[in-house]
Amino acid sequence: MTVTHPAPPTRSPVLTLIEDPAKMHEVRRRLRGEIGLVPTMGYLHDGHLSLVRRARAENDVVITTIFVNPTQFGPGEDLDAYPRDLPRDLALLEQEGVDIVFAPAAEALYPPGYQTWVELSELPRHLEGARRPGHFRGVTTIVTKLFNLTRPTRAYFGQKDAQQALILRRLVEDLNYDLELVICPTMREASGLAMSSRNTYLTPEERRRAAVLYRALCAARDAYLAGERDARRLRRLMQDTLDAEPLAQTEYVSIADLATLEEVPAQIRGPVLASLAVRIGKARLIDNLWLGTSPEEWGKTRPGSQPVG
């Protein structure tokens, strides 16, 4: 009688949960092959899972981090209310074939006496950084720590947080990290609303109305594609679209130079970031589209990717 055995799996389907930074270092020292890192704050949705799937397809080992980073929340922001569900996140990540989840407690990464910060000088001055003082200092500090703990070959971030992605790409270059930062497309609901853990703050009615953010961005994009190059007119189109939705309170609409994130005063002469921040009910929502380039294209051609001096 011949007994056939199923082929052994190429990787263990069992997910390893690590909470201790020292243990993360120890496990990382033993890993071989290309490592894909997907940093998250948990409460995962399809946007996060699209990053995980890309990381799974492109690497031998996938590490996802789940950490609601206190240092990127300002006073009065939603640190305590931020949605959390670790058991559900672990089940989703196991299904996606993630190998390692690093989910430390806040005190493990910021013990008493902690005093080291990583901060960029220019890019955080604009857009989200101008409205959320200290936010990007918290993001760049925690992501630096996660890079050091996991030493990835590739790290995956969503285009939805465009300023974050551009800042982190700059950080990777400036600090000479030997890794590729991959910016993945924004995942949207059928209405166009960008997926975000903060959408859970919306009532069903507000969620329906929140599609206005994407409509505003599309108004600017369509005008740009039709040849409009006056940044003031594109901002006006976005604002007019938002003004037609009574539940939307605009924080800003922006057409910014993608290299510097400075507002384009008049005529558009290169790739720009069309972005906005809007409050609807209890939620503060952000979204963006890139005009005149894409994250892949921009990674190859942008100014500032050459050495300084």
- Residues marked active site are found at 48
CA neighbor of 198 nearest in space, from 45, 88, 37, 76:
45
Gap between the Cα atoms of 307 and 309, Å rounded: 7
Where in 144-203 is the site for ligand PAF (CB under 6 A)? 161, 164
CB 154 within 8 A of CB 177: no
The SS3 assignment for 240 reads helix
CA neighbor of 140 nearest in space, from 157, 127, 153:
157
Using alpha carbons, list the distances in angstroms from residue 30 to 58, 95, 101, 151, 161: 20, 24, 16, 12, 32
Q: Give the interface segment with ligand PAF, choosing from 22-30, 38-46, 122-130, 299-307 (CB under 6 A).
A: 38-46
The shares of helix, strand and coil residues in the chain, as percent rounded to the nearest 5, are 40, 20, 40
Q: At its nearest, how many Å lie between ligand PAF and the CB of residue 96?
A: 17
Q: Does 275 bind ligand PAF (CB under 6 A)?
A: no
CB 13 within 8 A of CB 97: yes
Q: Give the interface segment with ligand PAF, choosing from 34-42, 215-223, 234-242, 264-272 (CB under 6 A).
A: 34-42
Neighbours of 285 (CB within 10 A): 23
Q: Does 286 bind ligand PAF (CB under 6 A)?
A: no
x/- map, 125-144, ligand PAF, by CB under 6 A: --------------x--xx-
Q: Does 219 bind ligand PAF (CB under 6 A)?
A: no
- One residue of 18, 27, 40, 183 binding ligand PAF per CB under 6 A: 40
Q: At its nearest, how many Å lie between ligand PAF and the CB of residue 160?
A: 8
**Residue 223 amino acid letter:** A
Q: Give the interface segment with ligand PAF, choosing from 39-47, 169-177, 218-226, 259-267 (CB under 6 A).
A: 39-47
Q: At its nearest, how many Å lie between ligand PAF and the CB of residue 166?
A: 13
Q: At its nearest, how many Å lie between ligand PAF and the CB of residue 165?
A: 9
Residue 73 DSSP class: S
By CB under 6 A, name the binding residues for ligand PAF. 39-41, 69, 72, 139, 142-143, 161, 164
